[in-house]
Amino acid sequence: MRILVTGAAGFLGRYIVEQGRARGCALRAFARREHPWMRDLGVEVVLGDVRDRQQVMRACAGCDAVIHTAAIASIGGRWETFYDVNVRGTEHVIDGCRQHGVPKLVFTSSPSVTFAGVDQNGIDESAPYPTKWLAHYPRSKAMAEELALKANSSQLATCALRPHLIWGPRDGHLIPRLIDRARRGMLRQVGDGKNLVDSIYVENAAEAHLLAMDRLTYDSPVAGKAYFLSQGEPVNCWAWINEILALAELPPVKKRISLRAAYTAGAVLETAYWLLGRTDEPRMTRFLAAQLATSHYFDLSRARSDLGYAPKVSMAQGMRRLGEWIKSGTATQVGQVPRT
C-alpha cells in the first residue's frame, strides 16, 4: 500500500511515516525540503508546498491513501496565510485524490474547531462549530475539516481526526516554548488553576491516523465523520505544566493572572500586532488565554468504537519518555526557539 503523508517533516507527520514504514507500507513524504531521516527510512520524497496545486497533484499520483497533516498551526499571523495553507491546501489535496482515484483521505483536524472560549467538559463530536472565532487557526481548520468531510463519497472516503495537545519527544513547538518561557520568567498561571485538559502522546496520535486509514472505506462507519482523540486521561492543566517544568529541572509556575486580565492583554496585543503588520506570535492572545484557563476534555466513545482506538502509551509512560528526551543530548536545544 502506498501512502502519501503531507507535512511529513512535521512533528506528527514524521511519527506517522515511521509507523507506516514499520508496518511495511510504501511511504511517500510530501514536504518543502528533504530530510536525511526520510532517505534513511527508504521513503520516497516529493518536494512541494500544499499551496501549489500542481505540486500536490503530482504527489497524489499512484497513491492508495493520503494522510493530510500539513498545516499552519500558530496563534499569530495573517488570515490570508492560514487560508492559503489550511483551506486552499486542503482543497488541493482533495482535488489530487479525485484526479488520481485515491480512495482514502484522512484529514488531521483539531479539537479547537469547536472551541468558543468556554469550558468543554467531556463533549462529543456533536458539538457545533462556534459562531465567533478567537483565532485564525481554528477558523481555518474548521473550514478545511468541513471541506474534507463534505468530499466524502463512494469514490473518495474521508474522515477527520482531532488530536488534542500533541506532545512527546522531538516536539519542536509546545514543549520547547513552554520551557523557554519558564526559563525567562515569562510564565503566568491563567485563571484559578483548576481546569482539566486532554492531551495525546504523539505515538498514539500517529497510530490513530493509521487505524483510521485501515477502517476507512466508503461504506464504513468511519466515512464522513470527525473524531476527537486524546489520552482519555484528563489532567489538571497547571499541575501538568509544572510536571513538565520539573522534568527540565525548573521551578513550578507561581505568578498568576486572571482570565479577564489575560484576555484583555491578548486583545490589546493582537490589535497592536495587526497595526504594526507583525506576523509573529504575541506573548498572549484571546485564544491562548481562554485555552489556558478553561477545561477542555472529550468523549472518545466514537473513536474507540469506530477506529478501535485505545492509547497504547499511557500518560505516565509518555512522561517518562519525554523526561528522557529533555535530559538527553537533544535537550540542549530545548528552549532555543525564536523569541516573540
Which sequence positions are flagged as catalytic? 137
Asked whether the beta carbons of 92 and 56 are under 8 A apart, the reply is yes
Chain centroid to CA 131: 22
Asked whether the beta carbons of 327 and 210 are under 8 A apart, the reply is no
Q: Nearest-CA neighbor of 118 among 137, 132, 105, 107?
A: 132
Chain centroid to CA 241: 18
Q: Please, is 251 exposed, middle or buried when counting C-beta atoms within 10 Å of its C-beta (0-12, 13-18, 19+)? A: exposed
Beta-carbon-side half-sphere exposure of residue 61 (alpha carbons within 13 Å): 9
Grid cell, residue 271, equals 490589535
10-32 exposure pattern, b = at least 16 Cβ within 10 A, e = fewer: bbbbbbbbbbbbeeebbbbbbbe
Asked whether the beta carbons of 56 and 96 are under 8 A apart, the reply is yes
